[in-house]
Amino acid sequence: MAAQLGSGLDLESLRELINVRLAQLVPEGHPKGPAAAARHSLLAPGKRLRAIITLIASRSHGGTIEDALDAACAIEMIHTSSLVFDDLPAMDDADLRRGVPTAHSEYGQDIAILAGIGLINGAYEIVAQAPSLEAERRIEILRIITRAVGWQGLVHGQALDLNSGENTASLDAIHEGKTGALFIAAAECGGVASGNCSDQDRRALRAYGRALGLAYQAFDDVLDQTACEATAGKTTGMDEGKSTAALGGRASIDGGTALANKHLDNAVRAVGKDKPLALLAEFIRGYFAKTIAA
């Protein structure tokens, strides 16, 4: 995942910065305990996309990477916790994630559940103690991310997804809760961390995050139907019976790709063409096009 986004922002450098900080934030603990399981999932090769959005959003609004780094890592920890839960036998029952065995496959369901809980609460603690942010910004970031996890965020979206073959929720409603909520939080938290984000800026960041999250999930639905496990880095073919952007043959796969591209266009419009966040959206477009073609 390498790309130059202008303003001295390089995706690979940001990703490495996040990886180093994540390794510092979660203790190693007992080799078979929850902390070890959390590190197993958290430090596995990942795109770090949500965390990168937070860093770029901060920099784009006059903040520093350092100011936003702990908030970005908290977002990544929450995202990883959602993957740990999503992969459980009670959910998708997946064996592979980020190219390594899922947490419950490696450590057992009980330890995986504890690891997920630890990651969420660890994320809150990290934001609450972030040394580069004054209390007002820490509290606002906590408000944003707790809302993203809660009743109208990840929890709601996952429940809709699990029952999507039986309920009448729209595809956007499922995707906005399951995926979009954390993308929205990632972008808005970056703006808040900068200390220079107006209400109008925050609305634009939320619109960007929502559109990017919807695009990402639509592309992910296509990959579930078209990519092998080695390419996707996770267990694929898990969406049978669910409401997704890509079930139903070639026409649906093409439609899912078109839908994702439409959402990416909306993301670019939200922040302005040629801005770093817009260039990130274009990079994602190219990344998925290449991966789907493979």
What is the reported pLDDT for 81? Answer: 97
- Section 192-219 average pLDDT: 95
> Would you say residue 4 lies in a domain?
no
Q: What pTM was computed for the model?
A: 0.91
> Would you say residue 165 lies in a domain?
yes
> Would you say residue 5 lies in a domain?
no
* Tokens at 175, concatenated: 């995707």
pLDDT tens-digit map of 102-127: 999 999 999 999 999 999 999 999 99
What is the reported pLDDT for 251? Answer: 46
Bridge partners, 100 (sequence order): 97
The top-scoring range by mean pLDDT among 83-97, 223-237, 247-261 is 83-97
The residue count of the chain comes to 294
pLDDT tens-digit map of 233-288: 766 555 554 555 545 545 477 888 888 999 999 999 999 998 999 999 999 999 88
DSSP 10: B
DSSP 36: H
Domain assignment of residue 203, given as a range = 11-293
Assign residue 94 the CATH number of its domain: 1.10.600.10
231: Cα separation from own chain's centroid? 19
* Tokens at 14, concatenated: 């940001």
- Section 25-51 average pLDDT: 95
> Would you say residue 6 lies in a domain?
no
CB 159, CB 94: distance < 8 Å: no
> Would you say residue 2 lies in a domain?
no
Q: Does pLDDT of 289 surpass 90?
A: no
Q: What is the phi-psi region of residue 2: left when phi exceeds 0, alpha when psi lies from -120 to 50, beta otherwise?
A: beta
Assign 3-class secondary structure to the chain. Answer: CCCECCCCCEHHHHHHHHHHHHHHHCCCCCCCCHHHHHHHHHCCCCCCHHHHHHHHHHHHCCCCHHHHHHHHHHHHHHHHHHHHHHCCCCCCCCCEECCEECHHHHHCHHHHHHHHHHHHHHHHHHHHCCCCCCHHHHHHHHHHHHHHHCCCCHHHHHHHHHCCCCCCCCHHHHHHHHHHHHHHHHHHHHHHHHCCCCHHHHHHHHHHHHHHHHHHHHHHHHHHHHCCHHHHCCCCCCCCCCCCCCCCCHHHHHHHHHHHHHHHHHHHHHHCCCCHHHHHHHHHHHHHHHHHHC
DSSP 145: H
How many structural domains is the chain composed of?
1
Q: By three-state DSSP, how is residue 97 classified?
A: strand
What is the reported pLDDT for 125? Answer: 97
